[in-house]
Amino acid sequence: MYRKLCYQILLTLALILAPVTTFAQQEITIWQNNQQVICDVAPQIKNDRVFLPARSLYTAIDGQTSWDDTTKTATILLSNGTHLKLTVDSTTAYVNGQAVTLEAAPFIQEDRLMLPLAFAADYSGLTLEWNAAARSITIYNKVDLWKQSVVMIKTDIAQGSGIVLSSDGIICTNYHVIEDASAVSIAFQNGDYYTGPATVVGLDTAKDVAILSIEKTDLTPIAIGDASTLEIGDAVTAIGSPNGNFNTVTAGSVTGNNGTVITTDAYITNGSSGGALINANGELVGMTFAYSANMYLSIPVNTILEVAQNLAMPIEEMVRHHFPTGIPYDLSYTEDDDYYYVFWGPVEGADWYQIYISDQQDGSYQAVRKLQGWSFPYCVKIAKDAQSDIYIRVVAIKDNMPSLPSQSLYLP
C-alpha cells in the first residue's frame, strides 16, 4: 500500500513538472498572386467574423489610406476611383458618399484599423476567399473575369459599350449606340477586334435596348442576376468604355430601384452606354445608359431579357431605317395628401414629353403640360382634384416627331 501510494505521488509530480506543450492557433495569412501579403497586424477572428488590417489590405491592391485620429476615421481611395470611409466602432460606412451598413464595426488592434472581410469583399472590386481550414484569405481579381464579358462597340457614328450574353455571339447594347449606324466594330478584353457581319436580332427603341448577333464563338457570357432583388445601399460595379477608355471600372452602390430604372453612384459618362452593372455576386443586374447630376442610370437586366430576339436586320440597314418615336411606358404613381407623383420609363432620345389629362378613360384628353426632359424618382407632380376622376396619358416627342399616346393611368 505504501509503495503504491509513493508511485502515485511520484507520477503526479512528474506530470506537474513535465514540460508543457502549447498548441497556438495558426496565424491567419493573406495571399495574392501566389505570394503572401505582409501584414503589420495579423488578420483575426472576432465574434465569428474575419477582420483584416485595412492599411495592409488596401496597400496590396494599390489603394491609398489616410487616417483622421480626431474622428478615428479612415478614408480609402481605391485605384478604380472608389472612395471608402470607415469609423472605429461604427457599423455605418460610406461608399462614394453613400451610407452602407456593416455586419460588424471596425476596431483598433495594435494601432491599426481592422475592418470586416465582408465589407472589403463587397467594395474592393476583388474576390476575397476565406479558407477556414487553412486559415488563409486569397485575393482574386474578379473584375478581370467580368471584363471578359464586356466589350467596346464603335460604329461609323458613335462609340459605346456592350455585354456578352452568350458564347455564340449574342451581345446587348443600347439602341442609341447603334442608331443610324451602317457599320460596327467590337473590341474584346483579350485583344480580339471584330469587324465582321453584325445582325440586329432584338430591338426595343423606347426602352433603349438593342441585341446584336455576330459571327464569333467561344465568348465569355456574363452571369445573369435579378434586378428586382436590388436594394438601396447594395454594392455594384459598372464596367464600360467612357470616352473610349476601354473597360473602365467604377464601384458604388444602389441609390434607387423602381423596377423600371436603377440609379447608382457608380460613375459613368459618354461611351459608357451599353455597359454592365454588376452586383456583389458577379451577376449582371443592369445595363448603363444615361447620367444626370451625379445620378447614373441603368436598365434592369430583367427588361433586357424581355426583348424578343425575332429580327434579322443587318447592321447596315440601321442607317436607312427610321423607327417611330418610342411610346412612354410603365406609368405609375405615388401620392401624398395633395399631389400625385407620376413616373414613366424614359423614352430613348425624347426631347420633351406632353402630358394629357381627361376625367374619363376613353374621353377627350386635353394637353395640360409640356415637360423638357425626364426625371427620377418622378417625372411630373399633379395636384389632386376631389371633384373629378383623373386619367393621364403621355406622349414623347423626338426630333419633332410625337409618339403614340401611352396607356392611360388612373389617378383615383
Per-residue pLDDT of the chain (412 residues; tens, 9 = 90+): 434 334 343 434 344 444 444 345 688 999 987 889 999 899 999 999 999 999 988 888 888 999 999 999 999 998 777 889 999 999 999 999 989 999 999 999 999 999 999 898 888 767 788 898 999 998 877 888 899 999 999 999 999 999 999 999 999 999 999 999 999 999 999 999 999 999 999 999 999 999 999 999 999 999 999 999 999 999 999 999 999 999 999 989 999 999 999 999 999 999 999 999 999 889 999 999 999 877 899 999 999 999 999 999 999 999 988 899 999 999 999 999 999 999 999 999 999 999 999 999 999 999 999 998 899 989 999 998 877 889 999 999 999 999 999 999 999 8
H or E element in which residue 60 lies: helix 54-60
Give the domain 29-140 fold: Copper Amine Oxidase; Chain A, domain 1 (3.30.457)
pLDDT score at 13: 39
CA pair distance 13, 29, nearest whole angstrom: 40
124 closest CA partner among 74, 58, 66, 65: 58
pLDDT score at 400: 94
Q: Which ranges constitute the DSSP H helices of 162-310?
A: 175-178, 301-305
Question: φ and ψ at 319, to 5 degrees?
Answer: -70, -25
pLDDT score at 45: 92
Dump strand ranges (E) for 166-215.
170-173, 184-187, 193-194, 198-204, 209-214
The C-alpha cell that represents 283 in the structure block: 451577376
SS3 category, 373: coil
Beginning with the edge strand found earlier in the chain, give each strand of the sheet holding 35-37 in spatial order: 35-37, 29-32, 136-140, 127-131
Same topology between domain 149-323 and domain 325-411? no
Q: How far from 180 is each of 175, 205, 225, 317, 326, CA to CA, in Å?
A: 10, 12, 31, 8, 16
The C-alpha cell that represents 47 in the structure block: 465574434
SS3 category, 267: coil
Ranges of each domain in the chain: 29-140, 149-323, 325-411
Is the CATH code 3.30.70.920 the one for domain 149-323? Answer: no
Helices (H) and strands (E) in the chain, counts: 6, 35
**Using an 8 Å Cβ cutoff, are 330 and 260 in contact?**
yes
Give residue for cell 407620376. 342
Is the CATH code 2.60.40.420 the one for domain 325-411? Answer: no
pLDDT score at 25: 65
Q: How far from 28 is each of 21, 133, 142, 172, CA to CA, in Å?
A: 21, 10, 22, 43
In the DSSP assignment, the letter for residue 242 is G
pLDDT score at 211: 98
109 closest CA partner among 52, 174, 34: 52
Give residue for cell 442608331. 179
CA pair distance 271, 154, nearest whole angstrom: 10
